[in-house]
Amino acid sequence: MERDERLIVNWVIVPPAAGSGGHTTMFRLIEHLERSGHICRIYLYDVYGGDATYYASRVREVFPGFAGEVHDVREGMADAHAVVATAWETAYCVYSDVCRGIRFYLIQDFEPWFYPVGGCSVLAENTYRMNFHAITAGRFLAKKLSNEYGMAVESFDFGCDTEHYHLLEKERPRDGIVFYARPETPRRAFELGIIALKLFAERHPELTIHFYGKRIGKLPFSYVDHGLMSPKDLNRIYNRCFAGLSLSMTNVSLVPHEMLAAGCIPVVNDAEHNRAVLDNPFVRYAPPTPHALAAALDDVVATKDFAALAVSASASVSSASWEAAGDVVQQCIRRIVCCR
């Protein structure tokens, strides 16, 4: 293709779930390509054989900025310059479909770690041997996939949605901490967080503990259960909190950057996959033990000039742009397509 020719890209995705960070990142990249004049098509794959028409309407509802076509991958894909797998299940569709197009793999986490050792973990791992060109969220995955599987890899740095997450000028004084609670997602270490927060609550009965993500029910300490929240409402909660507990046993989530933007200091389990991606001096790391995590929260709330800390933390992510991430993806696809 010519270097100034617009790209046609097929994206094979699993159905979007409410609050899915992976889908949010993916559609940020897709919509960036569309704004740059390229054509993006969505092909839906549901391992359970769900109604693609329903899921297509969900895509339009959850991601109204997407302008392209939405199809059922079971009906086959049209030829394109690039065909992108976005989860391990979709990699098998991309591998087996007869459509023309160079194969890419958008990898946002190391998915074999989502399962106990067994069939699903092996099926997920095998997709890294399909000879796709990988585009990873952050440097940790790029290094791991290159070193352990010999994949050709590009990576983009996480951006930060500063339109929705930022300091509020007239918000009331901070008086709590916040926890990203996902009990149905083992890699978010819900049980570890609960024990740490129980210890913290015993030492700080004067502070409010906020939960969001999933409604939980009764716990052995007092807390406010917000459930799934809009970005606007979540930003208000971040602006009311000194610290946020954000745990990830695999590749880091979007949450720590969003907390930082609102001046809320993230307390994160200390791990290579978190440090490599976050790379921010205002993140507080702690060993993944309840006492260490609770102590890290203690240290944050004891900060004497917290207002100054909040301003500096927010400024540290002000230039972290999703547009830059989109540019990396666009340039990678164009370069590989033009070279083949």
32-78 pLDDT, tens digit per residue, is 999 999 999 999 999 998 888 999 999 999 999 999 999 999 999 99
Q: Which domain holds residue 217?
A: 176-315
Concatenated DSSP letters for 173-205? PP-EEEEE--TT-GGG-HHHHHHHHHHHHHH-T
Question: Beta 102-107 vs 133-137: how paired, if at all?
Answer: parallel
| Candidate from 14-18, 20-24, 87-91, 142-146 with smallest mean pLDDT | 14-18
Q: Is 3 exposed, middle or buried (0-12, 13-18, 19+ CB in 10 A)?
A: exposed
Q: How far apart are CA 247 and CA 137, in angstroms?
A: 17
Are residue 153 and residue 31 in the same domain, yes or no? yes
pLDDT digits (tens, 9 = 90+) for 269-322: 999 999 999 989 999 999 999 999 999 999 999 999 999 999 999 999 988 889
Rounded to two decimals, what is the model's pTM?
0.94
Q: What is the CATH number of the domain that holds 132?
A: 3.40.50.11090
- Is 19 a residue whose pLDDT tops 80? no
Specify whether the CB–CB gap between 125 and 112 falls below 8 A. Answer: yes
**Sign of the CA dihedral 13, 18, 21, 25?**
positive
pLDDT digits (tens, 9 = 90+) for 220-245: 999 999 999 999 999 999 999 999 99
Give the per-residue pLDDT at 20. Answer: 84
Q: Is 305 exposed, middle or buried (0-12, 13-18, 19+ CB in 10 A)?
A: exposed
Are residue 152 and residue 224 in the same domain, yes or no? no
Are residue 39 and residue 90 in the same domain, yes or no? yes
Q: How far apart are CA 302 and CA 299, in angstroms?
A: 5
> pLDDT tier at 21 (50, 70, 90 boundaries)?
confident
Mean pLDDT across 191-204: 98
Nearest Cα to 198, choosing from 185, 187, 186, 211?
Answer: 211
Give the per-residue pLDDT at 1. Answer: 66
Specify whether the CB–CB gap between 140 and 276 falls below 8 A. Answer: yes
Q: How far apart are CA 60 and CA 80, in angstroms?
A: 22
Give the number of residues written for the chain. Answer: 340
Are residue 240 and residue 112 in the same domain, yes or no? no
- Cα angle 43, 49, 55 (rounded to 5 degrees) comes to 50
- Residue 24 host element (H or E): helix 21-35
- Is 331 a residue whose pLDDT tops 80? yes
Specify the 3-state DSSP secondary structure of 327: helix
- Is 2 a residue whose pLDDT tops 90? no
**Sign of the CA dihedral 322, 255, 270, 300?**
positive
Give the per-residue pLDDT at 340. Answer: 75
Give the per-residue pLDDT at 170. Answer: 77
Mean pLDDT across 186-208: 98
Q: Is 111 exposed, middle or buried (0-12, 13-18, 19+ CB in 10 A)?
A: buried
Give the per-residue pLDDT at 320. Answer: 82
Instruction: Name the domain count of the chain.
Output: 2
Specify whether the CB–CB gap between 38 and 66 falls below 8 A. Answer: no
- Is 254 a residue whose pLDDT tops 80? yes
Are residue 109 and residue 204 in the same domain, yes or no? no
Are residue 94 and residue 189 in the same domain, yes or no? no
Question: Beta 224-225 vs 241-245: how paired, if at all?
Answer: unpaired
Are residue 23 and residue 139 in the same domain, yes or no? yes
Are residue 331 and residue 258 in the same domain, yes or no? no
Specify whether the CB–CB gap between 242 and 176 falls below 8 A. Answer: yes
